[in-house]
Amino acid sequence: MFSSVGIEDPESYFFGCYRRILQSGARDESRYDSPGDEYFARLGETDCAEETEEREEMLTGCDRLVRDIQKFLRRHFSYEDYRIFMLRFYETGSSFRTIARHMGEKTSVVTRRAQAMMESIRANRKFIAQRRLIMAGEAA
C-alpha cells in the first residue's frame, strides 16, 4: 500500500484504513465524535470565571462606566427603550427619525423616551462619581 513516492491508490488506502477502524471498534453509533456534555459543562465553569477576570482587568474607567450604564438601562427600562438608546448612542448612531421609522412610532415619542433615559443617567450619583474619577485621572 505504501511506497517511497506516497500513496499509489488512495481509494484502496481509504478502504484499508476504514476496515481497520471498524475492526478495532473505534466507531461510535454517531458519524461524528463528540466529547460529551460533561466536557462542555466543565469547560464553561472554568473559562467563564477566568475570562471575566481577564476582561475586568483590561477595562478602562470609561469602559466600566459604559458597562455600568448599559446594565442600569437594562434593569430600569424596557428592552425596547434599551434598544433605542443603544442604537442611537452606541451602535449605529442612527437618528431618532430613523429609529422611529423602523419602530413604527412617532419621532417625538422616541426622542422623549431617549431623553428620559439620559436624564435618569445624568441624575444617577454613581455615574456622576465615576465620571469625576475619570476626569481626575485624565487631568493627572
Domain ranges across the chain:
1-30, 59-139
Instruction: Give the pLDDT of residue 100.
Output: 92
Instruction: Give the pLDDT of residue 12.
Output: 77
At 15, which helix (H) or strand (E)?
Answer: helix 10-24
Task: Print pLDDT tens along the chain (140 aa).
Answer: 455 566 777 777 777 777 777 676 655 555 556 666 666 666 656 555 556 666 667 777 788 888 899 999 999 999 999 999 988 888 888 889 999 998 899 999 999 999 999 999 999 999 888 888 888 876 55
Instruction: Give the pLDDT of residue 130.
Output: 86
Question: Taking the mean position of all CA atoms in its chain, how far away is CA 99?
Answer: 23
Confidence (pTM): 0.55
Spatial neighbors of 88 by CB under 8 A, at least 6 apart, are 94, 95, 96, 99, 114
Q: For residues 130 and 139, what is the distance between their CA atoms, to the nearest angstrom? A: 14
